[in-house]
A and B are shown apart, each in its own frame.
Chain A
Amino acid sequence: MSRDLFNDVTSTTLRKTLDATVLRQKAIASNIANVETPGYKRAAVSFEGELKRVLDRSRGPQALDAVKSLQPIRQTDTQSPARPDGNNVNIDAEIADLNKTVLLNRAATTLLQIRGNMMKSAVEAKR
């Protein structure tokens, strides 16, 4: 059981995922607040795609370093179709994204919590 329960790929991935969900939720909040703002282009946060590429490509300690240096990226979406006033926020899509984001956030939190408790048991048993 020499696995380092805090600094491994899984824990790091879950923590980065949490960061991404927080950033994404903020972007969605901005989009919703600006649903009626003329000319406003929605903000989006990308992370999963790059994470998958990194994890598919590397293994072992390389994977850990790669995930550690990964950051969620906020972008402006100019591609989605806009209304006559230039605003391209679709409120239904934003709410759907919001629900998915909150779910992912809570799932990652739960998983980290279980792992955290496992580490706690290990530390306590060493006494």
Chain B
Amino acid sequence: MRVSPITSITELTPAASITKAGEATKGSGVSFTETVKKAIASVNELQSDADEMARKLATGELEDVHQAVLAMNKAKLAFDFTLAVRTKVLEAYQEIMRMQV
């Protein structure tokens, strides 16, 4: 999985259109909701890979320790990225809620 740098979060759809994100960008490619769903799915997949590598290491089936550490790092990276996205979304939401209408 290619993990884009965190600074690219600012390139996502502006906060104001979050509630309509699914509909608003249907025509223009991948929506924000889709991106988040994909990110979570890949976190779970990478987590499973890491778990499997760790299991193999523990039962003595894994020759290359390097693989297990790499898998675990990938999983953590994906997790951290998704967590950062969630945090940013939350901040953006709170900022909207603070706006006077």
Contact = CB atoms under 8 A, between A and B. Distances in A.
Nearest to B52: A10
B58 A14 contact: yes
B32 interface: no
Interface residues of B, number: 25
B68 A111 contact: yes
Interface string A100-113: 00011001101100
A1 B43 contact: yes
A125 B86 contact: yes
Give the secondary structure class of B's interface.
Answer: helix
Interface string A17-58: 100000000000000000000000000000010011001000
Which size class do A's interface residues fall under?
20 to 34
Interface in B45-63: 47, 50-51, 54-55, 57-61
A110 B69 contact: yes
A122 B73 contact: no
Interface of B: 40, 43, 47, 50-51, 54-55, 57-61, 65, 68-69, 72-73, 75-76, 79-80, 82-83, 86-87
11 contacts: A8-B51, A10-B55, A13-B55, A52-B60, A55-B55, A104-B57, A111-B54, A111-B57, A114-B69, A125-B83, A125-B87
A-B pairs, 9 with minimum CB distance: A52-B59, A48-B60, A17-B58, A10-B51, A107-B65, A114-B72, A118-B76, A13-B58, A10-B54
Interface of A: 1, 3, 8-10, 13-14, 16-17, 48, 51-52, 55, 103-104, 107-108, 110-111, 114-115, 117-118, 121-122, 125
